[in-house]
Structure 1
């Protein structure tokens, strides 16, 4: 409460006081209808408006409180989808390379993924996937370059092979071309994880 008084929150889109993502502005963000489910990839919103600003602010302006608000918005949608109501589901965030995570201080996908797991009673294994090498940021790269940039970048941490019979939900903030998500899923399937899905906040 004291922090809210000293550092009041304002909607990132309309500047209304109270919270970063106000109800009016989130209502203007297009839900992912056709992009909500493409194959085994699920996205909640289109990458626009207050959702876009929220994701950028969390990642690059270190607005940690946005993790709670984004989690809440995702939960409102996935709780109505029977596919996600599986207590044996394992959520795995897309990992950052250690130097990048240390610089930022957190992994935004892990931050929200852990909150989702707690709310949905899922298993949360943040280090099931590890990132072998530091890569150039994907932002602004063309699809073919994105794919080559991510070649052999992920590996499965061997102690977790026991979870191959569980459904795996790879989680990330934004699905752009799908290169990152699809590379992670490919590595998991090659390690004999049978059912691998993905969930992103936006696309």
Structure 2
């Protein structure tokens, strides 16, 4: 260890390393726990289709894919593309029990919220629920953890019990759009906190938006069975979907 490294270890203790690549954190980053290089490799979404969240190159509100699509929600935006550093963080958070990654992921949600949702008068934040069997297997619902963290940052109450998942189907990633809709249909129902959200403006929080099948089904239940007012969707990432 040279003299420079010695003093850096004093100023920036050994535990102060990038959560993704392991580099020593020597300067401030906009996302806690990430070095500047990893941060620069996150592809933030600035212009997106308001119906599906698909990134667009110009300022059109609706992409060509969605000309005939009528979602059950009112507006959606995702923080970043589901690739590179963002994909790595989400996968390690979900499947490798790296709960320390929650902090930068929640901060990404918070930045996106303040940029795109702060003026919508949102009353409650509702995470996409997880079936109790999968939650028991994984140990936590990543959407709930991130939704609760976001709620604290933006001072909006989180209601993880507003919805429940009553049916656990096959993973959706290997199916086309029609099959996804069939699998997810009937998977959600009002939860014990659902009376609180009647007539309210709701934000759904999830980790990834792929085809939109899940959040559209959740939104349908919120609108038709919980009788909410407006529905907004915020996810950490937006994946490319061909189906």
Q: Which has the larger radius of gyration?
A: 2
1:32 paired residue number: 45
Give the one of 141, 161, 165 matched to 1:107.
141
Contact conserved, 2:14 with 2:24, CA < 8 A, in 1? no
1:62 paired residue number: 97
SS of 1:65 mapped into structure 2: helix
The answer for unaligned runs of 5 or more in structure 1 is none
Counterparts of 1:56 and 1:101 in 2: how far apart (Å)? Answer: 16
Give the one of 28, 41, 44 matched to 2:79.
44
Are 1:167 and 2:167 an aligned pair?
no
Residues 65-109 of structure 1, C-alpha deviation per residue, up to 9 Å, x if partnerless? 00111111222232233x335675211111110011011111000
Are 1:53 and 2:88 an aligned pair?
yes
- Give matches, 1:149-164, under 5 Å: 149-157=183-191, 159-164=193-198
Counterparts of 2:99 and 2:13 in 1: how far apart (Å)? Answer: 17
1:78 paired residue number: 113
SS of 2:99 mapped into structure 1: coil
Counterparts of 2:112 and 2:14 in 1: how far apart (Å)? Answer: 32
Aligned residue-pair number:
198
Using the size of structure 2 for normalisation, the TM-score is 0.74
Contact conserved, 1:170 with 1:198, CA < 8 A, in 2? yes
1:180 paired residue number: 214
Change (3 A) 1:21 1:138: farther
Counterparts of 1:55 and 1:73 in 2: how far apart (Å)? Answer: 12
Using the size of structure 1 for normalisation, the TM-score is 0.87
Change (3 A) 1:73 1:119: same
Contact conserved, 1:128 with 1:156, CA < 8 A, in 2? yes
Counterparts of 2:39 and 2:174 in 1: how far apart (Å)? Answer: 26
Counterparts of 2:172 and 2:13 in 1: how far apart (Å)? Answer: 37
SS of 1:113 mapped into structure 2: helix
SS of 2:210 mapped into structure 1: coil
Give the one of 17, 22, 45 matched to 2:24.
17
